[in-house]
Structure 1
Amino acid sequence: MRRKILVPLITLFLATYGEATFAQQVTSPKRHFGFRIGDDYMLANYKQMESYFLKVAQESDRVLIREAGLTEEGRKQYLLIVSSPENLKHIEKYRGISQRLGRAEGLTDSEALQLAKEGKPVVWIDGGMHSNETVGSHQLIETLYQLTSRNDEEILRYLDKVIILMWHVNPDGQDLIADWYMQYEDKEKRNMHIPVLYHKYVGHDNNRDYFMFNLKETENLAKVMYIDWLPQIIYNHHQTSPDGTIVAGPPYRDPFNHVFDPLLITGIDGVGAAMINRLNVEDKPGYVRLDQSTFSTWWNGGLRTAPYFRNMIGILTEITGNPTPSVIPAVAERQIPRNGLPNPVDPQKWHFRQSIDYSVSLNFAILDYAARNGDQLLYNFYKMGKNSIERGSRDHWTKYPKFAEAMERSYDEAVKSGKEAKKEPTGYYRSKIIPDSYYESVYKNPSNRDPRGYIISADQPDFGTAIKFVNALIKGGVYVYQSTSDFTYGGKRYPKNSIVVKTNQAFRPQILDMFEPQDHPHDVQYPGGPPVRPYDAAGWTLAMQMGVEYDRIYEDITAPLERKPYGELLKAPSVEVSVSKVGYILPAQSNDSFLAINRLLKSGHRVYRDEQSKDFFVEPRGRDIVVQVAREYGVRARGATVKSSRLKPIEKLKIGLYDYYGGSMPSGWVRWIFEQYGFEYRQFFPQDVDSRKIDDFDVLIFVGQGIPTGDGSGYRSRLPEASLVPEAYRHMLGELSRDKSVGVLKEYVEKGGKIITIGSSSAWVYGLNIGVTNPLVERNEEGKEVPLPSNKYYIPTSILRADIDVSKPENYGMPAQINIVFNNSPVFRIGESGQVYSLGKISTDKPLLSGWAHGQHYLKDTHIGVVATLGKGKVVAIGPEITNRAQAHATFKMLFNQLYK
Structure 2
Amino acid sequence: MIRSNKFYCSLAVLLLLRVSLSWAQAIPSPIEHFGFNIGDDYQLATYTQTEAYFKKLAAASDRVRIEDIGLTEEGRHQYMLIVTSPENMQRLDRYKEISQKLARAEDLTDEQAQALASEGKAVIWIDGGLHATETVGIHQLIETAWQLTSRQDAETKRLLDQTVVLLTHANPDGQELVSNWYMRTRKPEKRSLSHLPRLYQKYVGHDNNRDFYMTNMKESQNISRQLFVEWIPQIMYNHHQRGPAGSVLAGPPYRDPFNYVYDPLLVTSIDAVGAAMNNRLNAEDKPGYTQRAGSQFSTWWNGGLRTTPYFHNMVGLLTEIIGGPTPEDVPLVPHRLLPNGATPNPVAPQKWHFRQSIDYSVSLNYAVLNYAARHSDELLYNIYRMGRNSIERGSKDYWALSPKHVDAINAAHEKDKAKEAKSGDAESSGGDFSYGRGSGIPAKYFDAILKDPALRDPRGYILPADQPDFPTAVTFVNALIKSGVLVHKATSDFTVAGKSYPAGSYIVQTNQAFRPHVIDMFEPQEHPNDFQYEGGPPIRPYDAAGWTLAYQMGVQFDRMLDGFEGPFQRVPYGKLQSPEGHLTASSPSTAGFVLDARANNSFIAVNDLLQAGAEVYRMPQAEAGQGAFFVPATDKSKTLVAKAAADYGLDITGVAQQPAGATTKVSPMRIALWDTYGGSMPSGWVRWLMEQYHFPVQVIYPQDIDAGNLQEKYDVILFVTRAIPPVNEQEGDRNRGREVKELNPNEVPAEYRAHLGKITADKSIPQLKSFMEAGGTVVTIGSSTNLAYHLGLPVQNALVEMTGTGQERPLPATKYYIPGSILRLNYDTTHPAAWGMPAEGDVYFDNSPVFNISPVAISNGSVKPLAWFATKKPLRSGWAWGQEYLQNGVAAFVAPVGAGNLFAFGPEITFRGQAHGTFKLLFNQLYSTSGTSQTMR
Question: Do the two structures share a fold, i.e. TM-score over 0.5?
Answer: yes
Query: Shift of residue 642 of structure 1?
Result: 1.8
Instruction: Spell out the pairing of 1:163-242 with structure 2 (5 A cutoff).
Output: 163-192=164-193, 193-242=195-244
Tell me the amino acid that sits aligned with residue 484 of structure 2.
Answer: G
Query: Which position in structure 2 is the counterpart of 1:243?
Result: 245
Query: Shift of residue 719 of structure 1?
Result: 5.8
Matched positions, count:
885
Tell me the amino acid that sits aligned with residue 900 of structure 2.
Answer: G
* 8 A Cα contact 2:620 2:830, kept in partner: no
1:626 to 641, 651, 666: 641
Query: Which position in structure 1 is the counterpart of 2:935?
Result: none
Query: Which position in structure 2 is the counterpart of 1:887?
Result: 914
The 1:580–1:883 alpha-carbon spacing in structure 2 relative to 1, beyond 3 Å, is: farther
* 8 A Cα contact 1:580 1:620, kept in partner: no
Distance in 2 (CA, whole Å) between partners of 1:732 and 1:799 is: 34
* 8 A Cα contact 1:708 1:742, kept in partner: no
1:707 to 724, 743, 759: 724
Query: Which position in structure 1 is the counterpart of 2:265?
Result: 263
* 8 A Cα contact 2:313 2:387, kept in partner: yes
1:612 is aligned to 2:621: yes
The 1:456–1:719 alpha-carbon spacing in structure 2 relative to 1, beyond 3 Å, is: farther
Tell me the amino acid that sits aligned with residue 382 of structure 1.
Answer: Y
Distance in 1 (CA, whole Å) between partners of 2:696 and 2:196 is: 25
Query: Which position in structure 1 is the counterpart of 2:379?
Result: 377
SS at match of 1:393: coil
Distance in 2 (CA, whole Å) between partners of 1:530 and 1:711 is: 25
Which whole-Å deviations, capped at 9, do the CAs of 1:210-265 have from their partners, x for residues lacking one? 00011111111111111111100000000000111111000000000000000000
1:818 is aligned to 2:841: yes
SS at match of 1:466: helix
Query: Shift of residue 185 of structure 1?
Result: 1.0
The 1:93–1:584 alpha-carbon spacing in structure 2 relative to 1, beyond 3 Å, is: same
Query: Shift of residue 784 of structure 1?
Result: 2.0
* 8 A Cα contact 2:215 2:221, kept in partner: yes
Query: Shift of residue 553 of structure 1?
Result: 1.2
Distance in 2 (CA, whole Å) between partners of 1:662 and 1:878 is: 25
Which whole-Å deviations, capped at 9, do the CAs of 1:387-415 have from their partners, x for residues lacking one? 00000000001101111011112212322
Query: Shift of residue 720 of structure 1?
Result: 4.1
Which whole-Å deviations, capped at 9, do the CAs of 1:610-645 have from their partners, x for residues lacking one? 122221011212111111111122111111222123
2:670 to 641, 648, 654: 654
Instruction: Spell out the pairing of 1:314-353 with structure 2 (5 A cutoff).
Output: 314-353=316-355
1:732 is aligned to 2:734: no
Query: Which position in structure 2 is the counterpart of 1:862?
Result: 889
* 8 A Cα contact 2:632 2:658, kept in partner: no
1:873 is aligned to 2:900: yes
Query: Which position in structure 2 is the counterpart of 1:896?
Result: 923
SS at match of 1:897: helix
2:444 to 437, 442, 455: 437
* 8 A Cα contact 1:284 1:358, kept in partner: yes
Query: Which position in structure 1 is the counterpart of 2:779?
Result: 756
Distance in 2 (CA, whole Å) between partners of 1:415 and 1:718 is: 63
Instruction: Spell out the pairing of 1:286-305 with structure 2 (5 A cutoff).
Output: 286-305=288-307
Query: Shift of residue 495 of structure 1?
Result: 0.4
Distance in 1 (CA, whole Å) between partners of 2:786 and 2:22 is: 62
Distance in 1 (CA, whole Å) between partners of 2:254 and 2:406 is: 23
The 1:858–1:773 alpha-carbon spacing in structure 2 relative to 1, beyond 3 Å, is: same
* 8 A Cα contact 1:415 1:422, kept in partner: no
Query: Shift of residue 738 of structure 1?
Result: 2.5
Query: Which position in structure 2 is the counterpart of 1:496?
Result: 503
Query: Which position in structure 2 is the counterpart of 1:416?
Result: 418
Instruction: Spell out the pairing of 1:769-788 with structure 2 (5 A cutoff).
Output: 769-788=792-811
SS at match of 1:115: helix
Tell me the amino acid that sits aligned with residue 581 of structure 1.
Answer: T
Query: Which position in structure 1 is the counterpart of 2:876?
Result: 849
Q: Percent identity?
A: 54
Distance in 1 (CA, whole Å) between partners of 2:257 and 2:785 is: 32
Which whole-Å deviations, capped at 9, do the CAs of 1:72-126 have from their partners, x for residues lacking one? 1110111211000000000011111111100000111111111111010000000
Query: Shift of residue 750 of structure 1?
Result: 1.8
1:576 is aligned to 2:589: no
Which whole-Å deviations, capped at 9, do the CAs of 1:643-693 have from their partners, x for residues lacking one? 123321111111110110111111111111110000001111111222225
* 8 A Cα contact 1:709 1:765, kept in partner: no
Distance in 2 (CA, whole Å) between partners of 1:764 and 1:526 is: 37
Query: Shift of residue 581 of structure 1?
Result: 3.3
Q: TM-score normalized by structure 1?
A: 0.96
* 8 A Cα contact 2:710 2:767, kept in partner: no
Runs of 4+ in 1 over 6 A off after TM superposition: 713-718
Query: Which position in structure 1 is the counterpart of 2:736?
Result: none
Instruction: Spell out the pairing of 1:460-471 with structure 2 (5 A cutoff).
Output: 460-471=467-478
* 8 A Cα contact 2:765 2:790, kept in partner: no
SS at match of 1:252: strand
Greater displacement, 759-768 / 464-473: 759-768
SS at match of 1:254: strand
Which whole-Å deviations, capped at 9, do the CAs of 1:137-191 have from their partners, x for residues lacking one? 0111100000000100110010111110010011011101111111111223322
Instruction: Spell out the pairing of 1:269-284 with structure 2 (5 A cutoff).
Output: 269-284=271-286
Query: Which position in structure 1 is the counterpart of 2:4?
Result: none
Query: Which position in structure 2 is the counterpart of 1:10?
Result: none
Greater displacement, 735-744 / 493-502: 735-744
Query: Shift of residue 739 of structure 1?
Result: 3.1
Distance in 2 (CA, whole Å) between partners of 1:530 and 1:632 is: 51
Distance in 1 (CA, whole Å) between partners of 2:208 and 2:99 is: 27
Greater displacement, 423-432 / 556-565: 423-432
Q: TM-score normalized by structure 2?
A: 0.93
SS at match of 1:69: strand
* 8 A Cα contact 1:661 1:719, kept in partner: no
Query: Shift of residue 521 of structure 1?
Result: 0.4
Which whole-Å deviations, capped at 9, do the CAs of 1:487-519 have from their partners, x for residues lacking one? 111111100101110110000000000000000
SS at match of 1:112: helix
Tell me the amino acid that sits aligned with residue 301 of structure 1.
Answer: G
SS at match of 2:366: helix
Distance in 1 (CA, whole Å) between partners of 2:814 and 2:382 is: 41
* 8 A Cα contact 1:802 1:847, kept in partner: yes
SS at match of 1:24: helix
Instruction: Spell out the pairing of 1:659-738 with structure 2 (5 A cutoff).
Output: 659-692=675-708, 694-695=710-711, 696-712=713-729, 720-738=743-761
1:448 is aligned to 2:464: no
Query: Which position in structure 1 is the counterpart of 2:115?
Result: 114
SS at match of 1:649: strand
Distance in 2 (CA, whole Å) between partners of 1:310 and 1:777 is: 42
Distance in 1 (CA, whole Å) between partners of 2:367 and 2:23 is: 20
For structure 1, list consecutive stretches of 5 or more residues without a partner in the other structure. 1-6, 8-13, 15-19
SS at match of 1:637: strand
Tell me the amino acid that sits aligned with residue 677 of structure 2.
Answer: Y
Which whole-Å deviations, capped at 9, do the CAs of 1:534-571 have from their partners, x for residues lacking one? 00000000000000000111222121111111001111
Distance in 1 (CA, whole Å) between partners of 2:356 and 2:108 is: 46
Query: Shift of residue 580 of structure 1?
Result: 4.7
Query: Which position in structure 2 is the counterpart of 1:486?
Result: 493
Query: Which position in structure 2 is the counterpart of 1:4?
Result: none
The 1:406–1:766 alpha-carbon spacing in structure 2 relative to 1, beyond 3 Å, is: farther
Distance in 1 (CA, whole Å) between partners of 2:338 and 2:787 is: 45
* 8 A Cα contact 2:761 2:790, kept in partner: no
Tell me the amino acid that sits aligned with residue 698 of structure 2.
Answer: R
Query: Which position in structure 2 is the counterpart of 1:765?
Result: 788
SS at match of 2:651: coil
1:475 is aligned to 2:482: yes
* 8 A Cα contact 1:22 1:150, kept in partner: no
The 1:397–1:632 alpha-carbon spacing in structure 2 relative to 1, beyond 3 Å, is: same
* 8 A Cα contact 1:22 1:149, kept in partner: no
1:744 to 746, 763, 767: 767
Query: Shift of residue 422 of structure 1?
Result: 4.0
* 8 A Cα contact 1:84 1:156, kept in partner: yes
